[in-house]
Amino acid sequence: MTNRFAQGLIVGLVLGVGITISLAAAAIPQIAWKKDAVIPVCPVKGAIGGFEPIYGNAIGNKWDIKNVLPVCEVTTGIGGFVPVHGNTIGNNWSKDEVKPFVVVIPTDDGFVAGPRF
């Protein structure tokens, strides 16, 4: 561009948007939890005699069906939530029936919200 005004305007807009985004990100408070507030979970798969971890070693890590909590990953649907995988007909839940959770990563003194799915 040869127009100095247009160049200055574009640079100003880019810098303004960048600074605004940086300030907004810095203003988000750090969300943290202590160890006793975090519920550890282990995704499992069916195995002979019960369930075993999907990831990691199965030796000594098996559960009976009565000790496994079945869960269903859901996404928003019309009027509530529906399963991400599988049949949605007859499988819907209201906001009050859904238990939200967050993936966390460990820190020196607890846990903080981790990467999104």
| pLDDT over threshold 70, residue 8 | no
pLDDT band at 98 (very low <50, low <70, confident <90, very high): very high
| pLDDT over threshold 70, residue 96 | yes
Q: What is the mean pLDDT of residues 84-88?
A: 91
pTM strictly above 0.85: no
The 10 Å CB-count burial string (b at 16+, else e) for 20-54 is: eeeeeeeeeeeeeeeeeeeeeeeebeeeeeebbee
DSSP 8-state assignment for residue 60: T
How many Å apart are CA 97 and CA 103, to the nearest integer?
A: 20
| pLDDT over threshold 70, residue 114 | yes
How many Å apart are CA 49 and CA 63, to the nearest integer?
A: 8
Residue type, 98: V
CA nearest 93: which of 78, 108, 110?
Answer: 78
Q: What is the pLDDT of residues 44-79, one digit of tens each?
A: 999 998 999 999 898 899 999 999 999 999 999 988
How many Å apart are CA 109 and CA 103, to the nearest integer?
A: 17
pLDDT computed for residue 115 by the predictor = 76
Q: What is the pLDDT of residues 12-26, one digit of tens each?
A: 565 555 555 554 445
